[in-house]
Amino acid sequence: MKTRKEEHRSIKMIKTVAIILFLALLFTPEQMNRTVIAGIAIAGITGSLLFLLIPMLPRISVPAFLRDTHSHIQKRGKNRQKSPVFDMETLLIRQISYQITDKIKAAFPDASWEYTRPIKAEFLLNCDLIRIRTFHTGDYNFADISLDRYGHLKLFMMTITDFTPNLGRTNPDNPMPGNPENPAEPPVHVDPESWYSLIGKPLLTELIGDLQARGHQKLFINEAGEIFIYANNTPEIKDTFQHFPPRDYWAALMEIFTRDELKAAETNDTLEVSWA
C-alpha cells in the first residue's frame, strides 16, 4: 500500500511540474528565447519520468513469449544431451543373436554359443559367413551362420577337432596357480557399493546382455576378479574385474547383486551370478 501511495504521489508531482513548465513556455515574454525555455521544459519532464521509472525497473518481468522461447531452448538443449540406450549396431547384433539362440535351442534346449571373433553389423548386412562356437550341442561344437538377402537366418552345424597338441595349457581346474613368492596383497579397504556402481555394474551389464543373447544363464567370478563361463565343463574367461573386492566382502557383494535382481551364491571359491 505504501509503495502505491508513493507512486501516486510521484505521478501527481510530474503532472504538476509538466503544467508549470507548459505555462512558463506559454506565457514567456517575446523578448526571451522560447527555444531555451522549451528545452528546459522537455528536460524537466524527461527527468521526472526517469525518476519515476527507474525504481520500477527491477519489477519489470520478461515478456511471456521470451520466457517461452527460453524454456523451449533449455528443453531442446536437454534433449540433445540425452544419448540413446543402445546404438543401432549393438541393437542389430543382439537381435540376430537372439534369433541364433532360438534356432539352436529348438534342437538342443541346453545349448549356448559364442562368436569366434568380434562381430560387426556390416558382416551380417553383407551376408558374410560368421562362425560361432557352440556348447551342449551333442557332437557339434561349431556352426556357420549367415543372412540371405531376404533377412532369413541360415545356420549350419559342424564338428571341428583340433589335432595340434597344446603343451602350454594349464589345468582348467586351476587355470592360474598362485605364486607363493609374490603373493597378491589385498587392498586395505574396499567399499563394495562404490566398487559395484563405478566398476562392477557397467561391465557386468554389458557381459550379461551378450551372454543372455547367446543362451547363457549364469557366469562365475573367482578371487582374482576373472569372469568366466563353463563351456563343456571347461572354464572360459570372458573378462576381468579391476580391483575386485577380496573374499571378506563377498557377502556384501551378494546382497548388492540381489538388490539388482540377480541371483548370487558362493560355490567352490567362486561367486556364481545367474539371471534366469
User: How far apart are the C-alpha atoms of 196 and 183, rounded to whole Å?
Assistant: 25
Instruction: For residue range 211-252, list pLDDT tens digits in order.
Output: 998 888 999 999 999 999 988 888 899 999 988 988 889 999
Mean pLDDT of 137-161: 84
Distances (CA, A) of 219 to 145, 203, 211, 229, 274: 25, 13, 9, 5, 6
Q: How much is the pLDDT for 242? A: 86
194 versus 177: the higher-pLDDT residue is 194
Q: How much is the pLDDT for 77? A: 57
Q: How much is the pLDDT for 177? A: 46
Among 169-178, 195-204, 205-214, where is mean pLDDT lowest?
169-178
13, containing H or E segment: helix 2-26
Residue 189: is its pLDDT beyond 90?
A: no
Mean pLDDT of 166-184: 48
Beta bridge partners of 67: none
Q: For the whole model, what pTM was predicted?
A: 0.49
- For 105, counting Cβ atoms within 10 Å of its Cβ (0-12 exposed, 13-18 middle, 19+ buried), the class is middle
Mean pLDDT of 9-17: 65
Q: Which residues contact 182 (CB under 8 A, 6 or more apart)?
A: none
Classify the C-alpha dihedral 67-73-75-81 as positive or negative: negative
How long is the chain?
Answer: 276
Task: Please state, rounded to an integer, the average pLDDT across all residues of the chain.
Answer: 74
Using pLDDT thresholds of 50, 70 and 90, give the confidence band for residue 34.
low
